[in-house]
Structure 1
Amino acid sequence: MTNIYQQRRKTLLAQLPKDSIAIIVGYQQKVRSKNIKYHFRQDNDFYYLTGFNEPEAIAVLEQSSGRYHLFCRPKDPAQEVSFGARAGVEGAISIHGADKAYPLVEFEEVLLTLIANCPNLYISDELGRFSSQLLCWTNQQRLTCSFDTPKCFTSVHPLAEILHPMRVIKQDEEIALIRSAVNASIAGHVAVMSNCQPNTNERQLASLFNYTVAQYGCDDVAYPNIVAGGNNAICLHYEENCCDLNDGEMLLIDAGGEYQHYAADITRTYPVNGQFNQQQKTIYNIVLAALDAAIAKVKPGTPWNHLYETCMRVMAEGLLEVGLLDGNIEEIMQNESYKRFTVHKTGHWLGMDVHDVGPYHDVQGKWRTLEPGMVFTIEPGIYIPADAEDVPKAFRGMGIRIEDDILVTDDGHENLSAQVPRTVNEIEALMSSS
């Protein structure tokens, strides 16, 4: 794997101006309460370029020489007995491929030497760990050199501007890891669907999902599970997962496992009792038709916004036919009255971050077109709150979202999450057999 990170660093440095320096700051471990710490999760940009998964580490890349400097915690037998092994300076070189490595306490001294005559400094510091020091660092040379020495005026740039577009197109190794996350999540969703029934609590199903993806090698979930019964599904990022599920209501579960730093993101919605009533079936099939129409458009060259526009039109047509929208379809599309029930965008990049980084527009500001190696979600939804008194009662308190993970291939697409039951018949068949 070291060669993958080495190649990524090489690709990045090739895009930086001559003689520039890049600083990539890793995350620190966070405290949950007193001396209890949260499980450590590395910054994704840092991990993407280094594969180094210890807290507090900092990487520095030199464009001119291609050298990779890694600053990390030194070996400490006492600390390692209590909190686990460290790579140390030696391991940073022998295991993780650094050209030079140093203990963290030497970071500022070494950095000031490296950037003394650096015209452009690129920084990736997501949580602002060194925000207050940047100005001092970049002014150090001109303020401390003799009066007749040429001064260096360093410009500071966000590394994300160059790095994040790289992360949009997934390498084969990344696609394999995303597949593993998705396959684990497929099993998790099937397990939850099979065990859903009235009087089950949302938290039980959330825990079942976590247990199942762990059996497939996931150390964690990619984001807090959304397990929302009935009107709870109206809240797009519902996380309480504390309510009992009621007969006659729908359950929306939006959950994805994380496998070796790569995420899945899948949503399914189905009746708590395993049988759709007529109104549930009607709205569900509108959402599924929108999802399938958008997936059918996925191929290289398709503009990103066409997926959203396709979903919105199909759902607007369905809502008009069912009587939840008034007017004609062209007026509805123009005045966007469908947005009352379709309240969010219908997809995002997927990768190391569940809402992965990278632009949705090209350098001219036009919508980006799809390319092989892109992975993203498509997730249309219709939401009808319980207090929507102008809507027939049978439709109220219903949030339906269906989300699949899509890979763009050379000649079209692959629905990575298609094995989670999607149609009314598939869902009812699985739930009735459980």
Structure 2
Amino acid sequence: MLPDPELPTLLPRPPAISVAEYRQRRDALMAQLPDNAVVVLPGAGLMTRSRDSEFAFRQNSDFYYLTGICEPDALLVLLPGRVEGESVVFCQDRDPTMEAWTGRRLGAAGVVAEYGIDQAFENADRDERLPELLAGRELLYLPLDNGEAVAIAEDALAAAQAGLRRGRPPLKGWLDISPLLHAMRLIKSDAEIALLSHAALISAHAHRRAMQVARPGLSEFQLQAELEHEFVWQGASGPAYSTIVGSGANACVLHYIENSAPLCEDGLVLIDAGAEFELYAGDITRTFPVAGRFDDAQRALYQVVLDAQERAVSAIQPGVTLVDIHQGVVHDLTAGLIKLGLLEGKVQARIDDESYRRFYLHSTSHWLGLDVHDVGTYKLNEQTPRPLVAGMVLTVEPGLYIPSDDDIPDAYQGIGIRIEDNVVVTNDGHAVLTADVPKQIVEIEALMAKK
């Protein structure tokens, strides 16, 4: 009889975001709008995978941020100052036959009772009700890059034209709601940071598991399976983005997702993977030796990336910009490449002529939140980078990717290394959310020795 498998410890879950916080977000958005405005924001629909099967449903992040509702085919309308209620949601109809196949639907009563929406109607009533809500409103806000939102608004406005004959003012213009909404999403609340911390913790446990399982003879897809098993075991919905497991020279492909090759016995494997928990993303990258120990060339190159990454993380505090962080990383990586003989000359000269971009061609950081590459501009205007403030969450992920070219020393050819952590900006500095997965060479080798 086989022994019982050793199962991972289940991590305690943080509280969900409260109905009150979702209402506060809607109120904060409406407070920025002029009088007689209206917001139209559709949620996501189901997407066909093939024939009559769909991909797993994932809600539109903007819609979720304002409602917390995770049903498909919903529509949010915000009407500042409306006496009957400022928030209205159109949702799927209650349908016993469909619910027997796909599960319970909220229905209009459920949306109001469970999510604190002021008023709700089923989608069957939308063609009649939405034009009535838009009639008389002068400014229409919607995500202008969302074709569905534009189409819904066009149809409803056409039907609302009869309202003009009753003396209601005509629509004065269409405006993009995204800049206002995305500026709000850029600063995370305490509840959001708790969810991001949990997504990071799940992701860290998965990376530790992959390090301990990895060995020559396995394939990239088997490490992917270990990672994604841990995600779901710990209550995540799955990966927040396509898992990257690149062994050997595959690590030099920035968005390598085939994950089909055998692990290189004497090489490194780069894993870029994160869990999605309550729609919030983790995003960790670690690089480690398949056989459990770095060779001299791997160790030297890894230390260059690690030193640059740690210095960048240590610089994070309010007032610093992502440009500052990236410039520091570029300096440190360029200096390391010169020290290893992969570049020649003075550090500033190689930065100025961008020689370093042969080995480091991406930016160092991006925002993190409901989307793995989260919303929010990186500049206040064309000339001014956005300074960090408390509540922002970002990644720090320098890397080096050495091509297998004839002018590269053999020992370095085909090595790809990236190290990525998730960091929240605090009032007096920062906190690393992903510290539970090792990145020091000695720590990685010690963990891998405990296979």
What's the TM-score, normalizing by structure 2?
A: 0.92
Cα distance in 2 for partners of 1:162, 1:225 equals 31
Q: Is the 8 A contact 1:252 1:400 kept in 2?
A: yes
2:62 is aligned to 45
Structure 2 residue 178 is the aligned partner of structure 1 residue 160:
yes
Cα distance in 2 for partners of 1:35, 1:141 equals 35
1:71 is aligned to 90
1:185 is aligned to 203
Cα distance in 2 for partners of 1:175, 1:108 equals 39
Cα deviation, residue 130, structure 1: 3.9
Distance 1:133 1:213, change over 3 A: closer
Cα deviation, residue 227, structure 1: 0.5
Q: Is the 8 A contact 1:164 1:357 kept in 2?
A: yes
Cα deviation, residue 192, structure 1: 0.1
Q: Deviations over 1:143-195 (max 9, x none)?
A: 7744x946513311111110001011100000000111111111100000011
> Which SS does the other structure have where 2:207 is aligned?
helix
Q: Is the 8 A contact 1:141 1:151 kept in 2?
A: no
Structure 2 residue 412 is the aligned partner of structure 1 residue 395:
yes
Cα deviation, residue 345, structure 1: 0.4
Alignment map for 1:33-432 (pairs within 5 Å): 33-65=50-82, 67-124=86-143, 127-138=146-157, 141=160, 145-146=164-165, 149=167, 151-363=169-381, 365-386=383-404, 388-432=405-449
Distance 1:368 1:393, change over 3 A: same
Cα deviation, residue 108, structure 1: 3.1
Cα distance in 1 for partners of 2:58, 2:135 equals 32
Distance 1:150 1:131, change over 3 A: closer
Structure 2 residue 36 is the aligned partner of structure 1 residue 12:
no
> Which SS does the other structure have where 2:417 is aligned?
strand
Deviates more, 1:130-139 or 1:57-66: 130-139
Q: Deviations over 1:221-249 (max 9, x none)?
A: 10011001011111111111111012111
Cα distance in 2 for partners of 1:365, 1:63 equals 34
Amino acid at match of 2:270: L
Cα distance in 2 for partners of 1:109, 1:306 equals 53
Q: Is the 8 A contact 2:283 2:420 kept in 1?
A: yes
Q: Is the 8 A contact 1:220 1:258 kept in 2?
A: yes
Q: Is the 8 A contact 2:73 2:92 kept in 1?
A: yes
Count of residues in correspondence between the two structures: 432
> Which SS does the other structure have where 2:400 is aligned?
strand
Runs of 4+ aligned residues of structure 1 deviating over 6 Å after TM superposition are none
Cα deviation, residue 131, structure 1: 3.0
Cα distance in 2 for partners of 1:139, 1:87 equals 29
> Which SS does the other structure have where 1:433 is aligned?
coil
Cα distance in 2 for partners of 1:145, 1:173 equals 44
Distance 1:64 1:423, change over 3 A: same
Cα distance in 2 for partners of 1:201, 1:241 equals 8
Cα deviation, residue 127, structure 1: 4.5
Q: Is the 8 A contact 1:196 1:205 kept in 2?
A: yes
Q: Is the 8 A contact 2:144 2:175 kept in 1?
A: no
Cα distance in 1 for partners of 2:395, 2:169 equals 49
Deviates more, 1:410-419 or 1:264-273: 410-419
Cα distance in 2 for partners of 1:425, 1:122 equals 54
Q: Is the 8 A contact 1:342 1:383 kept in 2?
A: yes
> Which SS does the other structure have where 1:129 is aligned?
helix
Give the gaps of 5 or more residues in structure 2.
Answer: 1-17
Q: Is the 8 A contact 1:142 1:151 kept in 2?
A: no
Deviates more, 1:207-216 or 1:108-117: 108-117
Cα deviation, residue 139, structure 1: 5.5
Cα distance in 1 for partners of 2:432, 2:164 equals 60
Amino acid at match of 2:109: E
Q: Is the 8 A contact 1:139 1:153 kept in 2?
A: no
- Aligned-residue identity in percent: 38
Tell me the C-alpha RMSD between the 2 structures: 1.6
Cα deviation, residue 363, structure 1: 4.6
Cα deviation, residue 107, structure 1: 1.7
1:22 is aligned to 39
Q: Is the 8 A contact 1:379 1:404 kept in 2?
A: yes
Cα distance in 2 for partners of 1:42, 1:182 equals 20
Cα distance in 2 for partners of 1:73, 1:11 equals 27
1:32 is aligned to 49
Amino acid at match of 1:201: S
Q: Is the 8 A contact 1:267 1:402 kept in 2?
A: yes
Q: Deviations over 1:5-54 (max 9, x none)?
A: 10000000001111100011000011212222211110010000001110
> Which SS does the other structure have where 1:349 is aligned?
coil
Cα distance in 1 for partners of 2:387, 2:290 equals 39
Amino acid at match of 1:424: I
Amino acid at match of 2:56: H
Cα distance in 2 for partners of 1:144, 1:13 equals 24
Cα distance in 2 for partners of 1:352, 1:124 equals 17
